[in-house]
Amino acid sequence: MICRAIFFCLVLLSVLAVHTPAASAAPMVVRLGSADVMLSLSPDPPQPGSERVTVNVTGTSAQMLKRTSLRFASHMPSMHMAGNSGSATTVSNRPGQWTFDLPMAMATEWAVTLNFSGGVKGATTFAFNVGGATNAGDAMPGMATTNGSPWKIAAFAFAILFVLAALAAWNIATSRRSSAQPQWLNGSAAVLAVVAILVILGIALLQNKFGPPAMDMSAMSAVKGSAPLPVRLATVGGSPGGSTISAPGIVAAFLTQEVSARTPGVISAVNVYNGDRVLAGQVVASVSQPDLAVQAQSALAAARSDYSSATAAMIEARHHAPNELSIAQADARSKAAQARYWRNELQREKMLLDNGAVSTQEYQSERAQAAAALSGAESAQHQVADAQANIEMTRAQADAALAKASSSSSAASAQSILAGYTTLTAPNDGVVVTRLVDPGSYVAVGTPILRIAVVGKVRIQANVAQEDLNDIKVGTPLDATVDGLPIIHAAVTAVQPASDATAHTAMIEAVVSNRNGRLRPGTYARVILRPRDSYSASGTTLPSSAVLGSGEDAVVWTDVNGTAHRVNVTVLSDDGSTARVKGAVKRGDRIVTEGGLNLQEGMTITEARS
């Protein structure tokens, strides 16, 4: 039983002789501010080839993690050679976890730099060996050893099998001296031994023919990692007469107007659609409301009738009644003269009667005629008073008729206006942005039918950082770039008086002509402002790709005599293509625009050639 156990142990050792296990690369954890960052590799331990890298961040809120983005860069520190870089992919439904594939072709020491921005900010570096790399003497670190020569492995395996054969011979000699022979020592055991020898010889032969040769790096010991790291460089520019302020912008319509229903009814027609150009006064829609037309016609007929009555009343008051008064007054004067005559004649007849010149009968006849004349004069006076009263009455009736006619005319005008509201027209020249209601829909007063944008001139609007507002005034030169169009040169026409409390920005705008209609509302524009009296106090302009990190961790790498120098900066503005920063970066400095994630202070760099 003991011999059988020893036999299987030796067989196991011979199998392990052809497989050299590598050291395990357990997940690595570092502290970044208040968060813990863990990096895991798969397969583990790492081998030359493609590794699946998983990054987990804990110790901070889920909201912070949702706003965090991750970029990575790899390099081989011992050789100053850069590897792959890019953006990590966020694992869905797992805030704080990112993955990316990292090709590592050489068995050496590797370093991965993680750059966090957004919610969690900062950078950290993880270093590990790939493919069992060690630091052996003066050879290049991380590349000195491999799994060894296949023939050395075969020799080691043959040594183990030789021990097995010696043990077997000893067991055979012992069994001959004794009456019993071990059960495991038979023909099958010999066959297995021969098969094992053939398998080991085959594996050694295949590894020697198709396996990669061992890398002897001792001949490269004099290099000591002196190869410079290739990076992209740019020169910090700027005009000596003043700096510029960059900001993201948008093209907005000069005016946006809504055409709304001014009377209730059913939309009978909409004559335009989205994108159609319209002219001021053009009929764009119609509302069906038959009752309004009938009411307008009735009101107009009533107004005409009242006007005719008022005209007749005015004729009566101004012509007929005065004529009647004149006739009554003439008749009263005539009868008054007759009454005076008969009054004098009656006095004369009285004297003649008293003297006996006339008879009493004649005097009574004269007296009757005088009484009739006096009565006629009094009646004529009453007719004059009645004629005067008739004039006042007819004038009052004429005034009332005129007032009624005016009221009827106003009502008729109002009904006509309401009837005209069934036709909707464009208030200005413009473009139909949205058609809000389709024909057949019922609308109430004030229901929007169309939205029209006035685009004969447009507004170029940009959000500018609040610290730049003191340099911007009405009239400040402005250049706007819209993809596919020439640069638009304009001047600021308005500056928003208050800043946004959240974004710490304020809106500025410039009104520009758009006669050809090429500037479309909603289009993105890159805006550059050129304050006349601002310079270095407003910062230095450089490519956005040169700025790594954000907030207090923002840095720019500069080229100082072929070595990398880290410069801390404060980002004033960044539109995605151009950034404006404050810090020890000046005009004429050479800055790194690509490859900065792989750099360390004092590292030798060279400009990459296209």
What does the H/E/C string look like for 533-599?
CCCHHHCEEEEHHHEECCHHHCEEEEEECCEEEEEEEEEEEECCCEEEEEECCCCCCEEEEECHHHC
Most confidently modeled range among 53-57, 117-121, 409-413: 53-57
For residue range 465-477, list pLDDT tens digits in order: 888 888 888 999 9
Q: Convert the pLDDT of each residue in 583-609 to its tens digit.
A: 888 878 899 998 888 788 888 888 886
Predicted pLDDT of residue 207? 58
Arithmetic mean of pLDDT, 192-221: 56
445 pLDDT above the threshold of 60: yes
Please report the pLDDT score of residue 424 as a whole number: 87
pLDDT at 527: 92
Q: Is the pLDDT of residue 287 over 90?
A: no
Q: DSSP 3-state assignment of 130?
A: coil
Residue 131 has pLDDT above 70, yes or no: yes
By percentage, how much of the chain surpasses pLDDT 70? 73
- Give the pLDDT confidence score for residue 249 in this predicted structure: 93
**What percent of the chain is modeled with pLDDT above 90?**
13
Q: Which pLDDT belongs to residue 2?
A: 47
Per the CB < 8 A criterion, the answer to whether 109 and 141 are in contact is yes
Greater confidence (166 vs 394) lies with: 394
Mean pLDDT of the chain: 77
Q: Given a cut of 90, is residue 56 above it in pLDDT? A: yes
More confident: 375 or 394: 375
pLDDT at position 510, please? 94
pLDDT for 123 equals 79
Q: What is the pLDDT of residue 225?
A: 45
Contact 505, 461 (CB under 8 A): no
Residue 153: is its pLDDT beyond 60? Answer: no
Residue 511 has pLDDT above 70, yes or no: yes
pLDDT band at 349 (very low <50, low <70, confident <90, very high): confident
Q: CA 171, CA 169: separation in Å to the nearest integer?
A: 5
**Is it the case that residue 386 has pLDDT exceeding 90?**
no
Q: What is the pLDDT of residues 426-442, one digit of tens each?
A: 998 889 989 998 898 88
Q: What is the mean pLDDT of residues 57-84?
A: 83
C-beta separation of 296 from 416 below 8 A:
yes
329: CB partners within 8 A, 6+ apart: 384, 387
Lowest mean pLDDT across 282-286, 290-294, 563-567, 586-590: 290-294
pLDDT, position 543: 87
E strand or H helix that includes residue 310: helix 290-315
Residue 469: its pLDDT value, please? 84
pLDDT at 1: 46
What is the average per-residue pLDDT within 24-40?
81
- Residue 189 — very low, low, confident or very high, per pLDDT cuts 50/70/90? low
By the 10 Å C-beta count (0-12 exposed, 13-18 middle, 19+ buried), 156 is classed as middle
**CA nearest 449: which of 278, 290, 254, 253?**
278
Read off the pLDDT of each residue in 167-194 and give the average, rounded to a whole number: 58
Mean pLDDT over residues 105-132, rounded? 82
Residue 237 is predicted with a pLDDT of 67
- Would you state the pLDDT for residue 531? 82
For residue 38, what are the β-bridge partners?
Answer: 29, 56
Strands 109-117 and 69-76, by their bridges, are: antiparallel
Helix axis angle for 2-17 and 187-210, nearest 10°, is: 10
pLDDT score for 218:
38
Residue 98's pLDDT band (cuts 50, 70, 90): very high
Phi, psi (deg, nearest 5) at residue 555: -140, 160
**In sequence order, what are the residues at sequence separation of 6 or more whose Cβ sits closer than 8 angstroms to the Cβ of residue 167?**
3, 6, 7, 10
* Residue 459: strand pairing partners: 252, 511
**How sure is the predictor about 378, in pLDDT bands with cuts at 50, 70 and 90?**
confident
Instruction: For residue range 159-170, list pLDDT tens digits in order.
Output: 666 666 666 666
pLDDT at 52: 92
Interatomic CA distance for residues 59 and 68, integer angstroms? 14
What are the pLDDT digits (tens) for 220-268?
Answer: 433 344 467 888 898 886 544 456 788 899 999 998 988 998 878 888 8
Q: How many residues does the chain have?
A: 610
pLDDT of 135: 47
What gap in Å lies between CA 168 and CA 497, rounded to an integer? 100
E strand spans, 342-447: 423-425, 430-435, 442-443
Q: Compare 146 and 101 and report the one with higher pLDDT.
A: 101
240: cis peptide before it, omega within 30°? no
pLDDT for res 228: 79
10 Å CB burial of residue 277 (0-12, 13-18, 19+) is middle
pLDDT per residue as tens digits for the range 532-557: 644 444 678 888 889 998 888 899 99
Quick one: tokens of 215? 């890398």
Q: Which two tokens stand for residue 582?
A: 């404050």
Write out pLDDT tens, residues 476-499. 998 999 988 888 889 999 998 888
Amino acid at 139: A
Evaluate if residue 578 carries a pLDDT over 90: no
Q: In this structure, are residues 374 and 342 in contact, taking their beta carbons and an 8 Å threshold?
A: yes
Q: How confident is the model at residue 340 (pLDDT cuts 50, 70, 90)?
A: confident
Task: Note the pLDDT of residue 400.
Answer: 79
Question: Please, which pLDDT band fits residue 86 given cuts at 50, 70 and 90?
Answer: confident
Task: Give dist(CA 295, CA 343) in Å, integer.
Answer: 69
What is the pLDDT averaged over residues 134-154? 45
